[in-house]
Amino acid sequence: MTISALEAAPIRTDWTREEIAALFDLPFTELVFRAAEVHRQHHAADEVQLCTLLSIKTGGCAEDCGYCSQSVHADSGVEATKLMDVRQVLQSAAQAKDAGSQRFCMGAAWRNPKQRDMGKIVEIVKGVRAMGMETCMTLGMLTREQADQLAEAGLDYYNHNIDTGPEYYERVISTRTMDDRLNTLGHVREAGINVCSGGIVGMGETRADRVGFVHTLATLERHPESVPVNALVPVKGTVLGDMLADTPLAKIDDIEFVRTVAVARICMPLAMVRLSAGRESMSEATQALAFMAGANSIFTGDKLLTAPNAGDDSDAALFQRLGLKAMQGEEPMRAAAQQGACRAESIPAE
Ligand code: SAM
Ligand code: DTB
Ligand code: SF4
């Protein structure tokens, strides 16, 4: 399938909350139709990017993110490990490559990387890149110097989620602020690394919070190249997992989840919108709607960081049923940036 010849709307970073709220309020079929149009203007709609995730340092994290099984503040039973050996990480990367993955994403349960860890991290980035895979790391908050070190090592992407809208943020995390997160995203951008930033829906937030979440990302000076949209995986022993177990009505419904994907697609047309955590418990029909609404990237394999994932066999079956195929080519935002078009386009007219 080719990318639509329809004239694309300009890329905007001046979205207002009212405009974004109005998109959420559209009749569902109209919203999905509009998102599908935007999707087709910039992406091949039958191609989905495959990414593999590996936890290179699990558990024992000092932050108190209310959703996370890896926080020391949670009673989730996840055991803390040390940073993995470089060789072990490279073995996993080789397996992911053999399984058809385009990108290898590595996560560490840290508030921020310590300087003594950076040597190993740099070696890992160089090793995975040498295998011909794209690299992504998520290590917590970074200083500008650390971002420069990662850029020099050749890191392609850095994932750092804003997680939710600014007003709901402090109900979920108290050990760092939304501004801390935005500062790290600024360091990553300035260092020249591609930005991956998204969040979680289904944490008991309101639709207004979801509007604030998309608004924060869509009004960054330049949109993130990747926007992961996670559905909360409720883990027993975490604040939010336990809250949802006690108040099942707080669980987000599938239609509202797909609406969030569609609005993200419309507001950030060039971004890769990743259907991330939560797919394991999502019906095939909901996932199909999310792909229709512009999601075009997934995590493959049977494990995320600590939570289960859909698994390669069920994904292969789903792709077959939906007529989807693994993306091979370059992402549109990176291609545009290389041609010098993206930055100019994304700055609103005075
Ligand atoms: N420690 C680093 C950080 O927080 O940036 C990296 C790892 S952290 C686990 C990466 C992201 O995974 C979080 O920002 C959050 O959006 C997502 N996540 C964590 N636990 C989740 C859960 N139970 N359900 C859905 N998403 C989750
Ligand atoms: C993102 O937004 N989702 C991924 C990745 N970035 C690092 C992580 C999902 C974690 C799900 C819960 C777990 O596995 O513990
Ligand atoms: Fe730590 Fe990241 Fe989990 Fe927060 S989301 S507790 S920073 S591992």
- The mean per-residue pLDDT over the stretch 216-231 comes to 97
Give the position, in ligand 2's atom list, of the atom nearest the Cα of 70.
Answer: 15
- The mean per-residue pLDDT over the stretch 208-229 comes to 98
Ligand 1 first shell, C-beta below 6 A: 61, 67-68, 107, 109-110, 138, 140, 160-161, 163, 199-200, 230, 232-233, 235, 277, 305
- The mean per-residue pLDDT over the stretch 162-174 comes to 96
Cα 211 to Cα 7, 18, 164: the distances in Å are 27, 9, 9
Residue 350: inside a domain: no
Q: Tell me: pLDDT of 341 over 70.
A: no
Among the residue ranges 49-63, 164-178, 227-241, 328-342, the one predicted with the least confidence is: 328-342
Give, as one character, the DSSP assignment of residue 142.
-
Residue 131: inside a domain: yes
Ligand number nearest CA of 307 is 2
- The mean per-residue pLDDT over the stretch 24-50 comes to 96
How many beta carbons lie within 10 A of that of residue 80, not counting itself? 12
Distance, in Å, from the CA atom of 130 to the CA atom of 111, rounded to the nearest integer, reads: 28
Residue 195 belongs to domain with CATH number: 3.20.20.70
pLDDT tens-digit map of 301-333:
889 999 999 888 888 999 999 999 998 866 666
pLDDT tens-digit map of 248-261:
766 789 999 999 99
- The mean per-residue pLDDT over the stretch 158-175 comes to 97
Of 314 and 144, the one with more pLDDT: 144
Domain count, the chain: 1
Q: Residues with Cβ < 8 Å from 230, sequence gap 6 or more?
A: 161, 198, 199, 200, 201, 276, 277, 278
Q: Tell me: pLDDT of 2 over 70.
A: no
Q: Give the residue numbers spanning the domain of 39.
A: 13-329
Residue 139: inside a domain: yes
Q: Tell me: pLDDT of 245 over 50.
A: yes
Residue 339: inside a domain: no
Ligand number nearest CA of 236 is 1
Top mutation candidate among 55, 56, 67, 70 for ligand 3, by most atoms within 8 Å of CB: 70
Q: Is 342 a catalytic residue?
A: no
**CB–CB of 237/75 below 8 Å?**
yes
Pick the catalytic residue: 61, 103, 181, 342?
A: 61
**pLDDT attached to residue 344:** 34
Among the residue ranges 99-103, 129-133, 285-289, the one predicted with the least confidence is: 99-103
Among the residue ranges 94-98, 208-212, 250-254, 329-333, the one predicted with the least confidence is: 329-333
User: Which pTM does this prediction carry?
Assistant: 0.93
Top mutation candidate among 136, 138, 302 for ligand 2, by most atoms within 8 Å of CB: 138
Measured between its terminal Cα atoms, the distance across the chain in Å is 37
**pLDDT attached to residue 249:** 62
Residue 349 pLDDT level (bands cut at 50, 70, 90): very low
Pick the catalytic residue: 196, 259, 265, 267?
A: 196
Write down the H helix ranges in the chain. Answer: 17-25, 28-42, 86-98, 118-130, 144-153, 166-172, 178-190, 207-218, 239-246, 254-267, 284-292, 312-322, 332-338, 341-346
**pLDDT attached to residue 331:** 66
Ligand number nearest CA of 240 is 1
Residue 341: inside a domain: no
Residue 162 CA to ligand 1 center (angstroms) comes to 10
- The mean per-residue pLDDT over the stretch 72-97 comes to 95
Residue 8: inside a domain: no
Residue 70 CA to ligand 1 center (angstroms) comes to 9
